[in-house]
Amino acid sequence: MKSIIILFSVLCFANSAKANDEKIVKSKISKVTVYSQGAQIYRKASYSVTKGVTEVVIDGVSNNIDNNSLQVNATGNVIILDTKYAIHYPEVKTPKLEGLSLQTRKRILALEDSIYSVNYEVQTLQDEINVYLATKKILANNGAIKGQGKVNDSIGLLKDAIQYYTKKMMEVNKQLQKLNHDKRSENIKMQAMKERLNLLKNAEANNGKGKPKAPTYRITITLKTNTSATGKIDISYLVNNAGWTPLYDLRSETSTNKINLNYKANVYQNTGIDWDDVRLNISTNNPYQNKTKPELHPWYIDFNRYKAHGDNLNTMNNVTVQGSRMKRKSESMGYESDAQPQADEYQEAEMAYDFTTTVENMISAEFQIDLPYSIKSNGQKHMVLVKNVDLDANYKYYTVPKVDKSVYLVAQLSKLAELQLVPAKANIFFDGTYMGETYLDPTTMDDTLNLSLGKDPNIIVKRTLLKKESKEKIIGPKKERTFAYSIEVKNLKSRAIKLVVQDQIPITQNADIEIEPLTLSRGKLNKRTGIVEWEFNLKPKASKDLQFSYKVKHDKEKPIFFY
């Protein structure tokens, strides 16, 4: 009967150990989706488990996984009971002396003897410290020092008592200071010996590698099955130490009406794990951005209350809008705001962007690159070619001589929404020459994107104030001022160009100031902004003179200023 009970206990223990079985399996990163901030890592692994509950461990993952993003799927006849991400600290095993070399054992024994001796010295010093501490306590609690007994009636006795106390306390404190210093020195010596002892033991156990194993990060998946099972495990999780920044190359040639757009991504990662031969997806999404839509709350308006100062009562037309940074004042002509005013030898080689597929999601775009990339975990940027496309362009020359006498070549691009671009810097190349940088911002509400390709020195522009036509005179209570300008344009190029010239006349919000355009040389005036625009074709070596003028009338007693 006793043998049966023992056998039953052994079987129960074996079943318990089997239920808590742990298996470490190898995994490989199969795909990475890189966001503007963060990256989604996809891993694959194979498993083989027996009946019961088994913990499948995926070791060597990143040390900055977002635990909320962890997802696990598995094939096979198993149930996923639990998934968790945690740090694993390797168990430190102290080797036995029998397994060490003779020389190492001698050094270990010598260190252990030295540690024993130093420990004895420390204990001896501590005993002496305890005696002096007790002596100090006795001196401090003596009745003569506290003024108790006959000493209180005699000045001579009190004087002797104070001198004795001072002398003895100085001796005790001095001795305590020395003993504590000696004890600290011995402790430092013993600690150094213990560290050398541990390193000596571990060095022999780790084949000469003295450093202990560092902690690792692992994903543990708890599986349950009623029979032996095998299958695949798909794991995905988000890490934050990765991302990409966009960069564009814009190449244009005068012989064509096309602009070649080369869409590139600078991918970086510092997740602690290298990405070796993985498929990359570049996504415009940012999982760390706020995803909650804003809500409006009631917005109130009421009269402001003012205190009277003498006879100055400013109570009319004063309105304060709560919740807004804009306010109206009775003494102002408008509004004030404190807001502050981004295989064949001759066959062409295939390019990386030929392997890119664009997948448009509800709120972002994802570029699937069908080429393997290897990116080290060192934070360095790696260039990934995303897309290459030829865009239809309409070329025009623009000049604003009031601000800059240069003439700029501008390419007007349309239908950019389908390219899923994001705002970024762009390198400009014109006729094979690097022209500089510009900023590509497809998020503007305009249907057409004006892309400045740089200055053209072969078109001359000159803006002149016509002094004879610019006059000033007084008419009754009013002052009338006339301004006239001439803009001369000359095309030195060998071909015709389409040119847009912009200038402006002032505008006002003050009803006491009158502004009247006089001559515009067929220019189009935007009355809301005051901008005058001329658009025309200019033949090779031809010139054109544009003149415009305007008149300003105001109260002669009130000076005006332009801003």
By C-alpha distance, which of 146, 380, 122, 370 is closest to 241? 380
Q: What pLDDT digit, counting tens, does each position of 55-107 carry?
A: 999 998 998 899 999 999 999 999 999 999 999 887 766 556 666 677 777 88
d(CA 553, CA 185): 94
Position 329 scores a pLDDT of 37
Range ranked top by mean pLDDT from 281-290, 355-364, 413-422, 435-444: 281-290
Q: What pLDDT digit, counting tens, does each position of 478-520 carry?
A: 999 999 999 999 999 999 999 999 999 999 999 999 999 999 9
Of 148-162, 209-223, 240-254, 275-289, the one with minimum mean pLDDT is 148-162
Q: What pLDDT digit, counting tens, does each position of 306-317 carry?
A: 554 444 434 334
By C-alpha distance, which of 508, 209, 208, 252 is closest to 390? 252
Q: How far is C-alpha 560 from the geometric centre of its chain's CA atoms?
A: 48
The amino acid sitting at 314 is N
Q: How far is C-alpha 179 from the geometric centre of its chain's CA atoms?
A: 55
Of 189-193, 233-237, 359-363, 538-542, the one with minimum mean pLDDT is 359-363
By C-alpha distance, which of 278, 276, 286, 280 is closest to 238? 286
Q: What percent of the chain has pLDDT over 70?
A: 78
Instruction: Decide if pLDDT at 156 tops 80.
Output: no
**192: number of CA atoms within 13 Å, CB side?**
7
Dihedral angle, C-alpha 30, 35, 38, 44, nearest 10 ° = -10
Position 301 scores a pLDDT of 82
- What the block records as the tokens of 357 is 């597929």
Position 330 scores a pLDDT of 33
Assign 406 a pLDDT band (cuts: 50, 70, 90): very high
Assign 380 a pLDDT band (cuts: 50, 70, 90): very high
Q: Name 316's Cβ contacts closer than 8 Å, sequence gap at least 6.
A: 330
Position 344 scores a pLDDT of 44
More confident residue, 356 or 464: 464
Partner residues linked to 384 by β-bridges: 265
Q: How far is C-alpha 368 from the geometric centre of its chain's CA atoms?
A: 24
Assign 355 a pLDDT band (cuts: 50, 70, 90): low
d(CA 259, CA 263): 12
- What the block records as the tokens of 204 is 């022999």
